[in-house]
Structure 1
């Protein structure tokens, strides 16, 4: 597994636990690193995702829900919800990952961790969000340059 893919995988696992249990992010991340050691750059990227997504969870969910109206966010599987959050954060908030790469990585995570229908669901939702970075930033209350 490539290092950035591994970082996303660890971030997803941490976000899943936080979403499910409400445990403190630092504790969950450190426990994950103790279980699955990462090199510094991979751990740093994983932390960037986690620290970027957590404070925006509710806002990300509200925006994602607008583009998946047949699936209320409280009914979307926790793993699916976090895959979507990571991808949207990567291409619209951090803007460090090209949209197509973020979508492809999200689909790979969906194949690894989701149900049989997760990759198609993730692809559909992210496909509808692909060209809306400025709109997403505005909806999240972030400024665009």
Structure 2
């Protein structure tokens, strides 16, 4: 099972939850059920989604702190979803190196965001990692 597919689905889940402004467990379960025909690591998505829900205020505060030009509500929802996914992995998924999380976030940005998003995401995630490593 491809972790990349899991990340992409997790980003889509975060986007959907943000658009609906409902981060309830039943929405996560419904999303997974709707995508059950796809080959992905269900446990990975559940772990990342649950870690984000448990820690969303802290994760969003990191995004806000390191986003010097934009308030959280002004960041494109796709970019916000990518950032939330990457920061959740960086902080709470121990078996994934920081560089992998950042690289995968950039790959998602290249597919789903505009040309300005990848440098923004890269810079913000780099700042978050620098803070964590201190």
For the aligned pair, the TM-score class normalised by the smaller chain equals 0.7 to 0.9
SS of 1:131's partner is helix
Does the CA contact (< 8 Å) of 2:32 and 2:42 recur in 1?
A: no
Regions of 4+ moved over 3 Å: none
Does the CA contact (< 8 Å) of 2:15 and 2:78 recur in 1?
A: yes
Q: Residues of 2 paired with 1:76 and 1:6: CA distance?
A: 24
Within 5 Å, which residues of 2 pair with 1:1-145? 3-23=2-22, 24-34=27-37, 37-39=38-40, 42-133=41-132
Give the number of aligned pairs. 130
Give 5+ residue unaligned stretches, structure 1.
136-145
Which deviations, in whole Å up to 9, do the C-alpha atoms of 1:66-116 show, x marking residues without a partner?
011211001001111111111111112222211111110110011111112
Q: Residues of 2 paired with 1:17 and 1:127: CA distance?
A: 26
Give 5+ residue unaligned stretches, structure 2.
none
Q: Residues of 1 paired with 2:31 and 2:116: CA distance?
A: 28
Structure with more contact order per residue of length (Cα contacts < 8 Å, sep ≥ 6):
2
Q: Residues of 2 paired with 1:92 and 1:22: CA distance?
A: 23
Does the CA contact (< 8 Å) of 2:62 and 2:128 recur in 1?
A: no
